[in-house]
Amino acid sequence: MNANLLLQYGFFFAVLFLLAWPLGLYMARIYRGDLPAFVAWLRPLENFCYRLAGVRHGDDMGWRRYAGAVLAFSLLGVLAVYALQRLQLWLPFNPQAMANTTPDLAFNTAVSFVTNTNWQAYGGETTMSYLTQMLGLAVQNFLSAATGMAVVVALMRGFQRKEAGGIGNFWIDLVRSTLYVLLPLSLILALALVGQGVVQSVAPYASVPLTQAVDYEQPKVGADGQPVLDAAGKPVLEAATAREQTLALGPAASQIAIKHLGTNGGGFFNANSSHPYENPTPVSNLLQMLAIVLIPAALCFTFGRWVGDLRQGLAILAAMTAILVALLAVEVWAEQAGNPLFERLGLATQGSELMAGGNMEGKEARFGISATSLFVTVTTAVSCGAVNAMHDSLTPLGGLVPMWLMQLGEVVFGGVGSGLYGMLVFAIVGVFVAGLMIGRTPEYLGKKIEAYEMKMAAVAILATPLAVLLGTALSLMLEAGAAGVFNPGAHGFSEVLYAFSSAANNNGSAFAGLGANTPYYNTALGLAMLFGRFTIIAAVLAIAGSLAAKKRIPPSAGTLPTHTPLFVVLLIGTVIVVGALTFLPSLALGPVVEHLQMVGVR
């Protein structure tokens, strides 16, 4: 543990909380329609949207109608992104003449962006036109994030209201999230990123001369445009020399800003935030990490303000931060300790002022171990899924941390909106467990927690493990699933487990060696994303509706206070116990076995 690492991490958390606090209080105002002066000039635009769409202020929705609106909006989003990909060759802003994508890839990508997963079965700069990126993917970066924020606002209303029939209006929550939170923050971040070197243009890819020409082999293409195969069915290779380098460009900064702020994570380029045009400097790296956690952290303050006691939000924030910091320590330790193979081969691996050392396979020199480990932990604690290193090449325990953070249900900050509503479900389970221990009807924030809420909480908590474990098991039994595995041994199992953990929990990062762009994985992972996202949203909205209809009961001597360190520990315990009981067996088969094999090689 060196001083520089502590400084980098300390600075990150200090800036995060300093920004999240005012942002959270700002959001608490704008969802009530109480606009501060610096955004009030946008109100005519907001009202124009409602007028055109036929949305009326004060048209309160019950939870079923609210859920129906979420589903209708998401369905249309899927159709739009699907259509853009299937037609991109004939549409404008396609200077590289990208072909239309296959139906299974288009389905997977459309679902992936609408569910805020942003799993990438494609390589951005080799597959998607500028138009698809801007008008399809980036739009859903905004709207899937706004949807998550709307749902958590609806849940907060459930706690706040008493004997009410409705939980707000989805369209109003959606428009306000987009207009007053996501768009202004994205604009600022996009310009800051361009300043660091992130590209932003609609020109075709550039070409520059190589200082030293490079010889390479490429598959020979016959007169019919198909690769020539030899007698054994292998493609014939021919020697070639490259004297020029293609530089992929595009409207990247605008998309990357919302990719992080909306906890989306789908990269403009294939290598995501390890690509020097997507994340060029340590400062851009810091900005991107801050952007990932900013809104999820801020929503804790919003929650505290809305339930009338900021300490309630701070307790949630404290539980999230504690889990994040503990797993961050494991991550950076594992990656700095590295791979014993490197020492066996006589390499220098000790970190110093002259080199990062450690496990540098799949990492970038400008980020080294410290900045990469923080990014890995943050992007999976939050359901962002952007990566600035190849997670497939992490050490076994370094790969276990991001996998388990996703499996905890993306509640350690989690996605924008989705993280807090997931964590509030765990809080409900926590007070229920505490209530059982002392033999009283549990209550949370003045609302009695009864059988209906507990059923819905159980649905929300068990939905994603079901998709993860069944999906992994099924894929390993099917030939089509096993065929995608890239690395041999226990690591291959981890690739599949990681993929379903990522998809069902709407994270989107990958052990990218897995050959996932196949009809099987595109379909299976697409279904896992849909199931994970909308089962939880429906269950959460049902809880919101039920809570809103209840009376508020004043705290009594038997009420468990939910703003104390004791409650923080209870909440952490609930999350960890559920996550551990559900996933330890499968983690033991993957990263744990691999770790034992690795240290055994010594």
Partner 1 sequence: MLKELQPALILLALLSALTGAAYPALVTGLAQATMSDQANGSLLKENGQAVGSRLIGQPFSDPRYFWGRPSATAPMPYNGGSSGGANLGPLNPALEAALQERISVLKAADPSQQAPIPVDLVTASASGLDPHISPAAARWQAPRVARLRGLPEARVLALLERHTEGRQWGFLGEPRVNVLALNRALDQAAP
Does residue 239 belong to the site contacting partner 1 (CB under 8 A)?
no
Q: Which of 58, 225, 233, 346: binder of partner 1 (CB under 8 A)?
A: 346
Q: Looking at beta carbons only, is 286 or 323 nearer to partner 1?
A: 286
The burial of 585, by beta-carbon neighbours within 10 Å (0-12 exposed, 13-18 middle, 19 or more buried), is given as: exposed
Is residue 40 packed enough to be buried (19+ CB in 10 Å), middle (13-18) or exposed (0-12)? exposed
Segment contacting partner 1 by CB under 8 A, of 272-280, 323-331, 535-543, 553-561: 272-280
Site string for partner 1, 160-179 (x = CB under 8 A): ----------xx--xx--xx
Distances in Å between the Cα of 397 and the Cα atoms of 110, 279, 380, 394 are 32, 25, 14, 8
Does the protein bind partner 1 through residue 588 (CB under 8 A)?
no
Indicate the residue among 205 and 452 with the shorter CB distance to partner 1. Answer: 205
Q: Hey, which residues between 415 and 454 contact partner 1 (CB under 8 A)?
A: none
Query: Which single residue is written with the structure tokens 């770790």?
Result: 595
Structure tokens at 94: 């396609």
Of the pair 81, 423, the CB lying nearest partner 1 is at 81
Of 98, 105, 194, 459, the residue at the interface with partner 1 (CB under 8 A) is 194
What is the residue type of 31?
Y
Nearer to partner 1, 139 or 568 (CB): 139
Q: Distance between CA 358 and CA 401 in Å, rounded?
A: 17
Backbone phi, then psi, for 562, in 5-degree steps?
-110, 25
Q: Where are the alpha helices (DSSP H) in 478-518?
A: 479-482, 490-504
Nearest-angstrom CA–CA distance, 84 and 131: 8
Taking the C-alpha atoms of residue 320 and residue 419, their distance in angstroms, rounded to an integer, is 10
- Residue span binding partner 1 (CB under 8 A) among the ranges 30-38, 211-219, 222-230, 476-484: 211-219
> By CB under 8 A, which span of 153-161, 323-331, 384-392, 454-462 interacts with partner 1?
384-392
For residues 274 and 506, which CB has a smaller minimum distance to partner 1 in the complex? 274
Tokens at 205, concatenated? 């890819």
Of 371 and 428, which has the nearer Cβ to partner 1? Answer: 371
Q: Please check whether residue 384 is in contact with residue 375, taking contact to mean a CB–CB distance below 8 angstroms.
A: no
40 binds partner 1 (CB under 8 A): no
Rule CB under 8 A: say whether 311 interacts with partner 1: no
Using alpha carbons, list the distances in angstroms from residue 459 to 138, 144, 233, 503: 31, 22, 50, 18
The helix/strand/coil state of 507 is: coil
Interface with partner 1 includes 590 (CB under 8 A)? Answer: no
Give, as ranges, the residues between 466 and 525 that touch partner 1 (CB under 8 A).
Answer: 486-491, 494, 511-513
Q: From residue 550, how far is each of 115, 309, 556 by CA, in Å?
A: 31, 19, 17
Give the nearest distance from C-beta 429 to partner 1 in angstroms.
Answer: 29
Q: Which is nearer to partner 1, 123 or 573 (CB)?
A: 123
From CA 225, how far away is CA 301, in angstroms rounded? 58
Q: Which of 14, 202, 480, 483 binds partner 1 (CB under 8 A)?
A: 202
Provide, rounded to whole angstroms, the least separation between the CB of residue 225 and partner 1: 17
Among 18, 40, 53, 482, binds partner 1 (CB under 8 A): 53
In the complex, least distance from residue 309 CB atom to partner 1, rounded to whole angstroms: 34
Residue 195 binds partner 1, judged by CB under 8 A = yes
Within 67-126, which residues bind partner 1 (CB under 8 A)? 68-69, 71-73, 75-77, 80, 123, 125-126
Q: How many CB atoms lie within 10 A of CB 573?
A: 14
Residues in contact with partner 1, counted by CB under 8 A, come to a total of 140
- Distant-in-sequence contacts of 576-582, Cβ < 8 A, 24+ apart: 576/323, 576/408, 578/408, 578/409, 578/426, 578/429, 578/461, 579/404, 579/407, 579/408, 579/409, 582/407, 582/465, 582/469
Judging by beta carbons within 10 Å of its beta carbon (0-12, 13-18, 19+), is residue 53 exposed, middle or buried?
Answer: exposed
Contact yes or no for 480/520 (Cβ under 8 A) = yes
Separation between Cα atoms, residue 423 and residue 297, nearest integer Å: 12
Q: Which is nearer to partner 1, 23 or 131 (CB)?
A: 131
Among 99, 221, 240, 581, binds partner 1 (CB under 8 A): 240
Choose which of 105, 249, 297, 323 interacts with partner 1 (CB under 8 A): 249
CA distance 387 to 119: 11
529: closest CA among 497, 511, 507?
A: 507
User: Should residue 138 be labelled a site residue for partner 1 when binding is judged by CB under 8 A?
Assistant: yes
Binding pattern for the stretch 532-571 against partner 1, x by CB under 8 A and - elsewhere: ----------------------------------------
Using rule CB under 8 A, residue 54 touches partner 1: yes
Instruction: Compute the least distance from the CB of residue 602 to partner 1, in Å.
Output: 12
Question: Segment near partner 1 (CB under 8 A), from 242-250, 535-543, 559-567, 573-581?
Answer: 242-250
Tell me the window of 237-245, 297-305, 400-408, 571-579 that interacts with partner 1 (CB under 8 A): 237-245
Give the span between the Cα atoms of 591 and 575, in whole angstroms: 21
* Interface with partner 1 in residues 363-382 (CB under 8 A): 363-368, 370-371
- Of 274, 472, 507, 562, the one binding partner 1 (CB under 8 A) is 274
Quote the least distance from Cβ 255 to partner 1, whole Å. 7
